[in-house]
Structure formats: structure tokens, C-alpha cells
Amino acid sequence: MNLSDILTGERVEVRASVPDKAGVLHAMAELLEGVAPGLDAERIVEVFEEREALASTGVGSGVAIPHGRVDGVPSLVAAAMIVPSGVDFDSIDGRPVQIVVALLGPRNLDHLKALHRVSRVLRSARVRAELVTCADGAEAYALLLDADR
């Protein structure tokens, strides 16, 4: 599985700022809205919040990977957002999050493969540094796909 299999350019954006963790989850849900019939942003937020209630998906190094599983989504999908100014996300290292990649999929194991893939791409300090300087979603999308090769 490659990022290009689950992420589209329309679901990647750069935002100057986001007020808080709840704002991040809402923004990601809006990017993913419409991936399945009848699945709206509010339901997606609920799915992400249920997962966040277990433990923060702020994995450290300025990265968060909110994710969840929900019936009705035919296959795994992703969205990404870059917030250069950072946002508090209750990350394990206490640092603000600048890079968010959200995963939403059906109740199967594909999300584990995707979590591994996203983590591998964002492990690179160079990739993270370049992402937070992207001017727009198209540039960030191209960088993510290039880093995944």
C-alpha cells in the first residue's frame, strides 16, 4: 500500500493556524466528508474522538495521526493538513503538532499497514521540515508522495 492509494490532492491542505485539537479533528473530518454515502463530518469527528479518548494520536516530533474505523467506508482513505504555526494536540512528547495525517477506513486491518506507512514517511526530519514550509496543499501532496517512493 502506497500513500497514493489512499490520499488525494483534494484532501491535503496547508492552514495558517487551527485553534486547538478539536479544531484539527473537525478540519480533518471536513476533508474526509463524502468518502462514503451518508457519512458526514460530525460522524467522522465522533470516530476520531472515540480513538483520542483511548490515547492521543499525537505521536511526537510534531506529527499526529488521528484514525478510526467506521462501517460504510468502502476502503481506507487519508487526509493531510500542515499547520506551520503548530497546535497543541496532547502529543506524547508535549510538542505542538504541525503535520496531521488522518486515516479513516472500514473495520479491517488495512489501517495498520497505513499507520506504518505514514509513520515511516514522517520519521524523516527532512520530510517534516520541508512539509511545514509548503505553500499549499498541492506542494505538500507532491512532497508526501515523493517521500513515499
pLDDT over threshold 80, residue 111: no
pTM exceeds 0.85: yes
Q: Is 19 helix (H, G, I), strand (E, B) or coil?
A: coil
98, three cell numbers: 504541525
67 part of the active site:
yes
pLDDT over threshold 80, residue 71: yes
Question: Which domains can be identified in the chain, with CATH numbers?
Answer: 3-148 (3.40.930.10)
Kindly state the average pLDDT of the residues 100-126.
Answer: 87
Q: Give yes or no for a contact between 19 and 88, defined as CB atoms under 8 angstroms apart.
A: no
- The per-residue pLDDT for 116 is 87
